[in-house]
Amino acid sequence: MIRYLPHPVPVFLFLVLIIISGFTLSIEVRFIVSVMLLLLFTFHIHGNKILRTIVRIVIPLCIAIGLFMTFIYPETEQWLTIAGIRLSRDGLTAAGEMTSRILLLFTGIIAFFNLITIQRLGSYLYQNNLPVWLVFILINGLKFVDRFKYKLSEIHFYQRLRGMPLENIWQRWKATVKILIPLLYFMIEESSNRAIALEMRGFTATTRRTTLKPDRQSTIDKIITILISGIIIFILLRSILL
């Protein structure tokens, strides 16, 4: 298990690289990069969980889109016929184009969020003089899904505890309103109380501020930053020149 946590700068560059290569690299290279990323995940602490989400969500999505593109693509040149269904070379290329792009972008974004902790991102943004309330909104926006899920499971648990049947989809559907009421209450109540609480913490400050410990790049971070920047420049130059 690797416990290296990269600095936000190389991680950001990595994301840029993924997005750029999603648009410039050839299909084969995109697939290869995606597979390499997937392999990298196996070294990650939560590798299994990440791979599971990819297998469950991203890959079925790719297959669906791939099939859709292959068969729906306006016919130009007939290439193959299987059981009466005609395939075209262009359709297949377009499908490959699309799926490889999706796979790469999704794995890239998932990798991005697993390479960096949200709070470290927050600390870095704060250090670079973003107003603290904006940092707060960004960070809590990113954490929102997790908090929502947590609150929802909490409500489910306590409602079930007092006898609310939530075993199958039909029962869950019937209970939607009863689950939503407390959930909405918490969302509203929390946001209004939060505003006051954060004002009390001094978040409205506009005066000069200090940063505790500047998050500086380590040597490895610097090397990675240079490497990724190099690759980005190379890709950009190549696509411009060719």
Partner 1 sequence: MIKAVNLTLKDESEKPVVSNLSFEIYKNDRIAILGRKSELSTLLCHALAGILQRTHPSYSVSGSILYAGQPIEEIDSHERTNKIAYVPPFADLLISGVKDTVFGEVALSLELTGIERDLIHERVNRILQRFAIEKLSNRDPDELSGGERHKVALAAMIVRAPDVLILDNPSMFLDTTGVNNLLSILRAYNGTIIIADPNPYIWAAVAGRFITIEKSGIVPYDSPAALIHALEKDAVHIDVPSWHELLLMLRQPLIIDTEVTSFRSLGSLRTIIRAMQ
Partner 2 sequence: MIQCTDLTYRYPNGQGIHNINVSIGKRSMYLLAGSNGSGKSTLLKVLAGGLLEYSGTATVDRLHIYKTNRKKGGQFTVALSPQQPETQFSLPTVRDELRFTSKAIKQPVDTDLEEKIIQILQLSEFLDSSPFDLFPVRRKLLSLAIAAVIPSPFIALDEPTAGIDQEHKNQVLEFIRFLHTQKGVIVVSHDIDTFLPMATDIGIMEDGVLVESSEKNIFLEKFMRGKYSTSVRRPFIVPRMAHLLTNEPASSIGELAGTIIGTMTKKQRK
Q: Which amino acid is at 238?
A: R
Q: Work out how close the CB of 155 gets to partner 1 at its nearest, in angstroms, rounded to a whole number.
A: 17
Query: Do residues 228 and 10 lie in contact, with contact meaning Cβ atoms separated by under 8 Å?
Result: yes
Distance CA 58, CA 52 (A): 10
Q: Is 51 or 182 the residue whose CB approaches partner 1 more closely? A: 182
What would you report as the CA-atom Rg of the chain, rounded to the nearest whole angstrom? Answer: 24
Does position 28 bind partner 2 by CB under 8 A? no
Does position 129 bind partner 1 by CB under 8 A? no
**225: its two tokens:** 């930053």
**Cβ-proximal residues to 155 (8 Å cutoff; 6+ apart), any chain:** 179, 182, 183
Distance CA 135, CA 139 (A): 6
Q: Work out how close the CB of 158 gets to partner 1 at its nearest, in angstroms, rounded to a whole number.
A: 16
Exactly one of 59, 164, 232, 235 binds partner 2 (CB under 8 A); that residue is 164
| The entry of partner 2, partner 1, none that residue 197 binds, CB within 5 to 8 Å by partner kind | partner 1
Q: Which of residues 169-188 bind partner 2 (CB under 8 A)?
A: 177-179, 181-182, 185-186
Q: Which range in 95-103, 163-171, 199-207, 216-224 contacts partner 2 by CB under 8 A? A: 163-171
By CB under 8 A, the count of residues binding partner 1 is 32
**122: its two tokens:** 């927050």
> Phi then psi for 73, rounded to 5 degrees?
-55, 130
Distance CA 237, CA 212 (A): 40
Q: Is 56 or 194 the residue whose CB approaches partner 1 more closely? A: 194
Interface pattern 176-195 for partner 1 (x via CB under 8 A): --------------x--xx-
| The entry of partner 1, partner 2, none that residue 235 binds, CB within 5 to 8 Å by partner kind | none
**What is the Cβ-side half-sphere exposure of residue 197, based on CA atoms within 13 angstroms?**
7
Length of the chain, in residues: 242
Exactly one of 16, 65, 118, 166 binds partner 2 (CB under 8 A); that residue is 166
Q: Which range in 6-14, 98-106, 114-122, 159-167 contacts partner 2 by CB under 8 A? A: 159-167
Pinpoint the alpha helices (H) of the chain.
8-24, 27-41, 47-53, 59-72, 89-115, 118-127, 132-161, 169-174, 176-200, 219-241
Does position 136 bind partner 1 by CB under 8 A? yes
Q: Is 129 or 168 the residue whose CB approaches partner 2 more closely? A: 168
Q: Please report, as ranges, the residues that interact with partner 1 according to CB under 8 A.
A: 117, 119-120, 122-123, 126, 132, 135-136, 139-140, 143, 190, 193-194, 196-212
